[in-house]
């Protein structure tokens, strides 16, 4: 008879939508979050026999998120995630590890009082793991769309019989940045890291998106001494010159076709030389 065993497993409440309004005399503050909780521990009985003695309901996890938002507020998504993760491990004897991931959707006031506008596709992120190894925090941003109209080239690349791409001495460079960064100690203010990413993209004369990736990661490490590692994923949002010759018109780098797919995807890690790198916590599922 074949035998089977239970492998790694976790459970939790995913994508808890939370909007908190801080009522202030000088204008309200709006925080818009998407919170996901995952817990690990002595949970085999629930899988093997349906015994739920060790299972804290996911509905309770959802309620905890809302209650903590009211009781403690949300100073930053990193501190809010850490408070939740530590709570679940500390209060549930069968839970030994917790992972809380948060996405923050930015809103900007339009009147300084009560009206807001949503800021595009950019989302702030934070993931906190808490368990026997301590607490680890990774901050980041996703969907940060950047574009340069010039100061970008791409030439000298390998060619074979299937290559049709012409070499470019002047092109549009566009991407949608997904970035995460680790700190050696407690999480720091994420804005300097984000600003460094944007600044490096803008002032780096690029001969390849790979070069821009390294410049962006390096700038974060230069500006943020607590950051020890930056991970970047940069899709190349291709812009192709339109051939206007059939209409008797030239096209001096003015009219482009913006292609959404397929796209090049450049990914990499930039680390501080010689600095201790935190051991990454990887949950296999």
Angstrom distance (rounded) from CA 142 to CA 124: 6
58 is annotated as an active-site residue: yes
Helices (H), 73-208: 77-91, 191-203
Question: Among residues 47, 58, 148, 183, which one is catalytic?
Answer: 58
Question: Residues 243, 246, 248, 252: what is their CA dihedral angle, to the nearest 10 degrees?
Answer: 10
> Is 24:52 a contact under the CB 8 Å cutoff?
no
239 is annotated as an active-site residue: no
Burial (Cβ within 10 Å: 0-12, 13-18, ≥19) of residue 279: exposed
Angstrom distance (rounded) from CA 263 to CA 234: 10
What residues pair up with 241 in beta bridges, in sequence order? Answer: 256
Angstrom distance (rounded) from CA 172 to CA 43: 52
> Is 78:128 a contact under the CB 8 Å cutoff?
yes
> Is 140:180 a contact under the CB 8 Å cutoff?
yes
Question: Among residues 3, 13, 53, 183, which one is catalytic?
Answer: 13
| Beta-carbon contacts of residue 89 (< 8 Å; ≥ 6 apart) | 95, 96, 97, 98, 130, 131
> Is 93:46 a contact under the CB 8 Å cutoff?
no
Burial (Cβ within 10 Å: 0-12, 13-18, ≥19) of residue 55: middle
Question: Among residues 105, 130, 148, 238, which one is catalytic?
Answer: 238
> Is 32:19 a contact under the CB 8 Å cutoff?
yes
60 is annotated as an active-site residue: no
Q: Which residues are part of the catalytic machinery? A: 13, 58, 238
């Amino acid at each position: 008879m074949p035998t089977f065993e239970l492998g790694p497993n976790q459970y939790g409440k995913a994508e808890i939508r939370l909007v908190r309004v801080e009522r202030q005399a000088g204008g309200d503050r709006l925080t818009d979050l998407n919170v996901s909780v995952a817990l690990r521990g002595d949970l085999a009985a629930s899988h093997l026999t349906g015994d739920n003695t060790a299972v804290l309901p996911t509905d309770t996890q959802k309620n905890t998120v809302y209650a903590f938002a009211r009781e403690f507020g949300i100073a930053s998504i990193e501190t809010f995630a850490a408070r939740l993760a530590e709570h679940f491990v500390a209060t549930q004897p069968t839970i030994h590890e917790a992972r809380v991931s948060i996405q923050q959707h930015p809103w900007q006031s339009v009147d300084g009082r009560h009206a807001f506008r949503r800021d595009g596709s950019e989302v702030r992120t934070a993931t906190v793991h808490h368990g026997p190894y301590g607490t680890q925090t990774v901050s980041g941003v996703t969907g940060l769309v950047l574009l340069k109209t010039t100061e970008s080239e791409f030439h000298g690349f390998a060619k074979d019989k299937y290559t049709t791409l012409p070499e470019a001495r002047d092109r549009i460079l566009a991407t949608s940045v997904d970035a995460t960064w680790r700190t050696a100690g407690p999480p720091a203010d994420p804005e300097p890291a984000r600003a460094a990413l944007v600044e490096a993209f803008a002032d780096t004369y690029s001969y390849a998106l790979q070069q821009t990736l390294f410049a962006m990661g390096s700038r974060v490490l230069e500006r943020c001494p607590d950051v020890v590692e930056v991970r970047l994923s940069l899709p190349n949002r291709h812009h192709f010159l339109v051939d206007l010759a059939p209409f008797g018109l030239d096209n001096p780098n003015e009219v482009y076709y913006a292609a959404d797919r397929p796209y090049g995807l450049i990914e990499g890690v930039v680390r501080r030389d010689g600095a201790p790198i935190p051991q990454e916590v990887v949950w296999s599922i």
